[in-house]
Amino acid sequence: MDLKGQAINKDMSLQSEIFQMSGEKIQNCYQCQKCSAGCPLNFAMDILPNQVFRHIQYGHRDKVLTSKTIWLCASCHTCSTRCPNSIDIAKVMDTLREISTRSGLAAGEKNISLFHKFFLGLIKITGRTWEPVFAIYKMKAGGLGGMIGFGLKQFFKGKIPIFPTFKGGKELKRLFEPGKGAAR
């Protein structure tokens, strides 16, 4: 996608919001594309990481917040280590997920908000994953059918615990404090 030549939108609120929440300066991006070239998930994204940055610079708020990309990003930090301007791109992606969730816009990936809610809700309480919660998620999202047989097999092999285990304590609580970078 070539965004060169487009007029910069005066509404830069998304850029400012990202800076306020993460401290990252999107305006420092000069489109070298190193982030996109090294991203292991670039083949599945609808807009590449460098394009996300360009859209933010142009003030295309909805385009960014409804993209698949922000949800497909696996926070592997490859891009952040490659950026010549030391922009923590993975942190920006995380911030965008947060803003997208708060904004109430439809997420670019089907069922991703539901998954986000289930997964982070569970981690917030237990500090660990627990398979039955994902079965409930699959039930709500549709598509549990194909997994029932596999789930039962695993259960009878003793691979799925009946009760969740708890881990985390104060450290976990701290992760969920506003501005500390975990779930909201």
Rounded to a whole number of angstroms, the minimum distance from the CB of residue 72 to ligand SF4 is 7
Q: Which of 45, 6, 47, 12 is closest to 27 using CA atoms?
A: 12
Q: Candidates 87, 96, 99, 123: give the one binding ligand SF4 (CB under 6 A).
A: 87
Cβ–Cβ < 8 Å for 128, 161: no
Q: Where are the beta strands (DSSP E) in the chain?
A: none
Binding of residue 31 to ligand SF4 (CB under 6 A): yes
Smaller CB separation from ligand SF4, 68 or 117? 68
Q: What is the DSSP letter of 44?
A: G
Q: Candidates 1, 11, 16, 74: give the one binding ligand SF4 (CB under 6 A).
A: 74
What token pair was written down for 22? Answer: 């993460």
Cα dihedral across residues 113, 46, 44, 97: positive or negative: negative
Binding of residue 85 to ligand SF4 (CB under 6 A): yes
Using CB under 6 A as the binding criterion, the count of chain residues that bind ligand SF4 stands at 27
φ/ψ (deg, to 5) at 140: -70, -40
- Chain positions 88 to 147 lying near ligand SF4, rule: CB under 6 A, are 89-90, 93
Binding of residue 50 to ligand SF4 (CB under 6 A): yes
Q: Which of 127, 57, 120, 122 is closest to 92 using CA atoms?
A: 57
What residues line the site for ligand SF4 (CB under 6 A)?
Answer: 29-35, 39, 41, 49-50, 53, 73-79, 82-85, 87, 89-90, 93
